[in-house]
Structure 1
Amino acid sequence: MTVLALLTALVLAAVGALHVVWMFSPWPLRTREEFASRVVGVPADRLPSPGLTAVPALLLALAAYLVVGRADLVAVPGPEWPAVVGTAGVAAVLLLRGVGGLVASAGKKTEFARLDLRIYSPLCIALSAATASVAFLA
């Protein structure tokens, strides 16, 4: 369980770090327009502000902390149940994002939909399964 928790937290933290980068840059793409189309699926003028982009970055960092906390790899203050409930909540949100992405992107021909079906949604579902395992089996 330790290895699963560490790997899961690492991926969550890495995705959170990407959101921090995206607050200031369209990396790894060249332009905001390309980034908006491929990564977010909106026109460039509808990209979230840096402040709004910080929200998922912070939530992903909290999710990573909850996962390693639930696996007793870092200290979590207070009783055990908030870490269990929090980690289970993370799993539920990731599952909703994954399944929702599969449903919303099905049949669409955009670059975002292609990436959502092949990468984003499956990653969310895999992270959900891993996080649920840590929540309930740790």
Structure 2
Amino acid sequence: MCWRVASGDSLIWHGDRACCESVLRRGAGGPCWCACRVGLGSSWPFPDREAFSDAVIGRPVAPGAVACHSVACALGAGALLVGGRPKQYPALSRLGAAGVAGMLGVRGLAGFSGRTDLLSPGSTSARFRRLDRLVYSPLCLFLGASTAIATVRRHR
């Protein structure tokens, strides 16, 4: 259990490292699943691919199947590295997890500064920029910081 109820019904961190790692791995599972679905032609949760592309990618044309499945593979590989895999090569796991944390941090900072287009050319729609500052960038920073904390704690 990651959290437990303390007096006054407030939640406090219980300090269970395995739980933290599990949450981080599952946190990449949802976006990985979504990237696969989009690669197969889904626009979920939007009514069509144009609306999806405008809100999530920031440009008028939806990404192709190869790009979507590449993102899904990268998210899956990142989740495995954050989870401490491969166990027989802990240095690779540690380096990979640090890379994941760093990339998420850079992505979050770029979004907050309004310069996601430097990392993903063409991501310039007004809807995307608003969502980027309100949702995507804070999420990237949170996941990056959580990944860094879990990596440091796991390798003490």
TM-score computed with the length of structure 1 as normaliser: 0.86
Q: Secondary structure at the match of 1:122?
A: helix
Task: Compute the displacement of 1:48 (Å).
Answer: 1.9
Q: Is the 8 A contact 1:99 1:121 kept in 2?
A: yes
Summarize the alignment of residues 45-124 of structure 1 with structure 2, pairs less than 5 Å apart.
47-69=62-84, 76-104=86-114, 110-124=126-140
Task: Compute the displacement of 1:35 (Å).
Answer: 1.0
**What's 1:37 paired with?**
54
Provide the identity percentage. 29
**Correspondence for 2:32 among 1, 4, 16:** 16
CA distance in 2, matches of 1:43, 1:53: 16
Task: Compute the displacement of 1:102 (Å).
Answer: 1.1
**What's 1:72 paired with?**
none
Task: Compute the displacement of 1:79 (Å).
Answer: 2.7
Q: Is the 8 A contact 1:105 1:117 kept in 2?
A: no
Aligned pairs, number: 130
> Which runs of 5 or more residues in structure 2 are unaligned?
1-16, 117-123
Q: Secondary structure at the match of 1:14?
A: helix
Q: Is the 8 A contact 2:108 2:141 kept in 1?
A: yes
1:130 paired to 2:140: no
Task: Compute the displacement of 1:78 (Å).
Answer: 3.1
Larger RCO, structure (CA 8 Å, separation 6 or more): 1
> Which runs of 5 or more residues in structure 1 are unaligned?
70-74
Q: Deviations over 1:60-115 (max 9, x none)?
A: 1011111222xxxxx62533111000100000011111111111269x88111111
Amino acid at match of 1:94: L
Runs of 4+ in 1 over 6 A off after TM superposition: none
1:26 paired to 2:36: no
Amino acid at match of 1:124: C
Name the structure where helix makes up a greater proportion of residues: 1
Superposition CA RMSD, Å: 1.8
1:7 paired to 2:23: yes
